[in-house]
Structure 1
Amino acid sequence: MRAVLAVLAVLVGTPLLLGLCILAAGAVASLLIGWRAGAAYPPAGPFVPVAGGRLATLQAGPETAARGTVVLIHGASANAADPMEGVGRLLAARGFRVIAFDRPGHGWSDRLDAATPAAQAGRIAEALVALDAGPVIVLGHSWGGAAALALALDHPERVSALALVAPVALPFSRTMTLPWYWRLAAQPPVAWLLSRTLGPPLALYYLRGAASQAFRPQPPAADYLGRARVPLGLRPGALLANVEDLMGLPAALERQSPRYESLRLPALVVSGDADPLVRIEAQSEPLAARIPGARLLRLPGLGHMVPWVAGDRLAEAVADLAPVASATR
């Protein structure tokens, strides 16, 4: 017994035990953060069954809309409420049926082993069949732009037109490398552990700052965190899904980007020319040049969160795209 006590006395002062205590405290905090987020923002729309699980949606507008259906695909660290509250309800007010999906692993959707744009597009295509949503206009924001392009490439019968907003669609520069500690944190075992211990408390601490960074140079929209249901992204599963999505994106874009010249549908690329996160000269401008017939809408002085800071302008541009989509279809 004395020997055991002596060993414990030594361990109390070691960095290992301190680290274990920190991880344990983080795990408890993560459980509380996840529970509070889920209780505050329960599912607010119908689920759609797909192979292996289900996707969560938010829907607005008439179910049978003469103007057509617009599907919204959100970006990283977000869920269906982000594009729905930014631009989706404005489109519904213009007579469109609007369906916003929680991408797999985000919001209330099951992960479904879908981490790439192509895999997530495949699940959304399944859901569109289940919803009997004929060819639709697909609006993808940021990371969602890559998924929207994959949907048009792999399931062209589901898509009548594309609206790509501040899209991440082209391979990143080879000079863009992550610091060693980010590369370590992104390794699957480490990412899994951090997402269930230190990740949620740290993400909660930086939440408002991250929102300000996303909106820059504009200020964040009023009550953005609540309206966009952002705390849902603090839950361990969503944090891990976000890391997997981001780390797998460069290789996925290397595979799908050579096919953009094959697209034959109306396409609109919208970007703020002051976007510090997805620069227009690196993504939107060359993307619009590669998609045959695509139109680039440059919004002077605007940042990354176009659906929120220029929702009316974006809704108007999508409404103008609808007749062209119908004629093409």
Structure 2
Amino acid sequence: MSGAAGRFVRVDGVPLHVVVEGSGPVCVLAAGLAMAWFDWEPVARLLAARGRTVVRFDRPGHGLSGPAAEPPGAAGEAHRIAALLDALGPAGSGPVTVVGHSIAGFHAEAFARLYPERTAAAVLLDSSVEEDPRTLLPAAWRTGAARAVGRAVTAAGLPAALGPAARALVVRASRTGGGDPAPRDLVRRCYRTGRVWRGALLENSRYPDMAAEVAALRETRPTAVPFTVLVGHPGGAGRGALRWLARQEALAERLGARFEVAEPAGHLVMLDRPHQVARAVLEAARPRQPRA
């Protein structure tokens, strides 16, 4: 199921695991917190079959990439995407459609604002959204706590004992269409390591800072890059689900973006509705029809 063979590209001193397949205009797929390259498999297969070069990569501390040395930031992750594309040479050339799921929606938007000349379109897939981002505790405290918890969890042997099971529970809770389709050997290879747990904790500790960073970029880096906001909705009229739809629609209005609902779908929209996600990516850079 893993698709094309992966390789490692060193960016800022960290070996990044990347999978490149297909040919044609480039699409970069950035996964959410603690997710891996193989979570894009159904979408990547569809895009490659429709004449796209698909770039999937693992951020530091995720998937098979090297451990995260420093806390991530939105701009830092945007620069990492640009450096990765540079390292890929011709395979990463030309304006790209960048797709960010969950917290990686911050990274995709930052890339579009910092590298508009390299961005054909940006797709925010059930993206993290914060209307009024605030940091209640100093970043250094949060980062230090994340590092300490990561070390303690690893020392206690929890990743080896519970990692794959914890992932299975999270994936099932984040879908409407079943369990975890990822190959067991890849799940064990990634989630039995303390490296992934520590990477996820470190990235999550900087969530409010990334949200604030993106909010600032909206003020200082306006862009004409076309955005698409695609949100998952499980169906029904639950208050929480409807509130999430409203927040995502407000995000789309703020960005002047296309707004689309994938239903039924959980947070892992790429697994529940891969055909709809692929179609949204393919259409993201196309000229929009004026509203009647």
Shorter-chain TM-score tier? 0.7 to 0.9
What letter matches 1:309 in structure 2? Answer: D
Is 2:156 the counterpart of 1:193? no
What is the TM-score normalised by the length of structure 2? Answer: 0.81
Is 2:206 the counterpart of 1:248? yes
Preserved CA contact (<8 Å) 1:199 1:239: no
Q: Deviations over 1:252-282 (max 9, x none)?
A: 2022224336232111110122397996336
Matches within 5 A, 1:265-304: 265-274=225-234, 280-281=244-245, 283-291=247-255, 293-304=256-267
Other-structure match for 1:163: 123
Please, which of 174, 182, 190 is the counterpart of residue 214 of structure 1? Answer: 174
- The CA RMSD over aligned residues, in Å, is 3.1
SS in structure 2 of the partner of residue 140 of structure 1: strand
SS in structure 2 of the partner of residue 274 of structure 1: coil
Distance 1:184 1:144 in 2: 19
Preserved CA contact (<8 Å) 2:146 2:205: no
Preserved CA contact (<8 Å) 1:79 1:229: no
SS in structure 1 of the partner of residue 286 of structure 2: helix
Distance 1:277 1:239 in 2: 28
SS in structure 1 of the partner of residue 153 of structure 2: helix
Preserved CA contact (<8 Å) 1:86 1:308: yes
SS in structure 2 of the partner of residue 284 of structure 1: helix
SS in structure 2 of the partner of residue 259 of structure 1: helix
Q: Deviations over 1:37-66 (max 9, x none)?
A: xxxx9x94122232223321011112xx1x
SS in structure 1 of the partner of residue 260 of structure 2: strand
Greater gyration radius: 1
Is 2:47 the counterpart of 1:91? yes
Preserved CA contact (<8 Å) 2:36 2:62: yes
Q: Which runs of 5+ in 2 are unaligned?
A: none
Alignment CA distance shift 1:278-1:47 (3 Å): farther
Distance 2:80 2:17 in 1: 11
Distance 2:51 2:194 in 1: 37
Distance 2:168 2:123 in 1: 28
Preserved CA contact (<8 Å) 1:168 1:278: no
Distance 1:104 1:93 in 2: 28
Kindly state the Cα deviation for residue 134 of structure 1 after the two structures are TM-superposed: 2.0
Preserved CA contact (<8 Å) 1:128 1:158: no
Alignment CA distance shift 1:96-1:114 (3 Å): farther
What letter matches 1:246 in structure 2? Answer: N
Distance 1:241 1:282 in 2: 31
What is the TM-score normalised by the length of structure 1? Answer: 0.72
Q: Which runs of 5+ in 1 are unaligned?
A: 1-40, 178-182
Is 2:280 the counterpart of 1:320? no
Kindly state the Cα deviation for residue 141 of structure 1 after the two structures are TM-superposed: 0.9
Please, which of 133, 146, 153 is the counterpart of residue 113 of structure 2? Answer: 153
Alignment CA distance shift 1:187-1:107 (3 Å): closer
Other-structure match for 2:27: 70
Is 2:86 the counterpart of 1:125? no
Kindly state the Cα deviation for residue 116 of structure 1 after the two structures are TM-superposed: 2.2
Other-structure match for 1:45: 6
Q: Deviations over 1:120-179 (max 9, x none)?
A: 2211211111223222000111122111112112222322210111001325777x99xx
What letter matches 1:284 in structure 2? Answer: Q
Larger deviation, residues 198-207 vs 309-318: 198-207
Alignment CA distance shift 1:124-1:233 (3 Å): farther
Distance 2:184 2:228 in 1: 26
Distance 1:272 1:298 in 2: 6
Matches within 5 A, 1:23-34: none
Is 2:192 the counterpart of 1:234? yes
Distance 2:120 2:73 in 1: 22
Tell me how many residue pairs correspond in the alignment. 269
SS in structure 2 of the partner of residue 301 of structure 1: coil
Distance 2:48 2:200 in 1: 28
Preserved CA contact (<8 Å) 2:30 2:99: yes
